[in-house]
């Protein structure tokens, strides 16, 4: 069954405003979760930490404009704002941005350099020094990825950082096995993407890869890439 881009997005938005919101808010929190969720929480935290390490190493974070597209509960936006960046977080899910705002209020003494907006990344406008999009592409099939990345590139003055679930033989086998056992743990469809495809899309948009990392725990796999305008 093939779905239109609009249908695909509606499914994702509804999920992250309902069961997906509850599931991911807990994973991206610090309360009690099950072992699999704990592993995913730790893997995701490694991805966030790696991005922060990269940006801090450049020593130009204070005042840097950053678009965090698909910001979720603000796991990256909030620490970046804390480090002095001017952060524009946005997410397709109203519930996610509301939670991000609550967390920012609790963790930051003043909320002056971070905003959260309910908006899908396809309709974002403006220019930002850096555009970041972590663990969002996993929700979309390959045929929608070129347009999404092109749009993110058009918003970036200098750099795009994104992460995706890499398509490798081992992971494809794992996914197939998982599909043989559909159960209540099934969440949303997860799409993996080929690294070479992503690199080519960046190149077609005039970007080249600078830093990259592979983050992997038992249940969490994410390929992290930084691409800059050439
Ligand atoms: N980037 C965050 C992080 O790493 O903590 C959240 C990752 S979470 C797995 C995926 C997020 O992408 C969800 O909050 C979801 O609502 C959001 N999302 C999905 N499709 C989107 C779209 N088209 N535009 C903006 N956000 C989207």
Q: What is the pLDDT of residue 53?
A: 98
Q: Distance from the CA of 136 to the center of ligand 1, in angstroms?
A: 5
Q: From the CB of 135, is ligand 1 less than 6 Å away?
A: yes
Q: What is the pLDDT of residue 6?
A: 85
Q: What is the pLDDT of residue 189?
A: 78
Q: Whose CA is nearest to atom 9 of ligand 1?
A: 135
pTM: 0.93
Q: What is the pLDDT of residue 7?
A: 87
Q: What is the pLDDT of residue 172?
A: 62
Q: What is the pLDDT of residue 185?
A: 45
Q: What is the pLDDT of residue 32?
A: 97
Q: Which two tokens stand for residue 168?
A: 């490798």
Q: Distance from the CA of 60 to the center of ligand 1, in angstroms?
A: 26
Q: What is the pLDDT of residue 139?
A: 95
Residues in the chain predicted with pLDDT less than 70, given as ranges, are 1, 169-188
From 29, 52, 70, mutation site for ligand 1 pocket: most ligand atoms within 8 A of C-beta: 70
């Amino acid at each position: 069954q093939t779905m239109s881009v609009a249908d695909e997005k509606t499914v994702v938005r509804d999920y992250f405003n309902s069961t997906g919101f509850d599931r991911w808010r807990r994973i991206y929190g610090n309360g009690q979760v099950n072992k699999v969720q704990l592993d995913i929480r730790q893997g995701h935290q490694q991805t966030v930490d790696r991005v922060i390490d990269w940006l801090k190493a450049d020593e130009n974070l204070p005042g840097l404009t950053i678009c965090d597209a698909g910001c979720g509960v603000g796991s990256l936006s909030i620490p970046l704002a804390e480090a002095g960046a001017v952060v524009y977080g946005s997410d397709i899910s109203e519930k996610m941005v509301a939670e991000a705002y609550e967390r920012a209020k609790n963790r930051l003494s003043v909320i002056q350099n971070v905003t959260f907006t309910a908006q899908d990344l396809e309709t974002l406008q403006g220019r930002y020094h850096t555009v970041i999009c972590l663990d969002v592409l996993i929700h979309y099939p390959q045929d929608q990825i070129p347009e999404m990345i092109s749009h993110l590139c058009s918003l970036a003055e200098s750099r795009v950082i994104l992460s995706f679930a890499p398509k490798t033989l081992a992971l494809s086998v794992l996914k197939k096995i998982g599909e043989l056992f559909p159960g209540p743990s099934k969440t949303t469809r997860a799409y993996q993407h080929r690294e070479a495809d992503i690199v080519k899309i960046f190149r077609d948009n005039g970007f080249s890869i600078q830093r990259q990392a592979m983050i992997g725990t038992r249940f969490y796999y994410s390929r992290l890439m930084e691409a800059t305008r050439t």
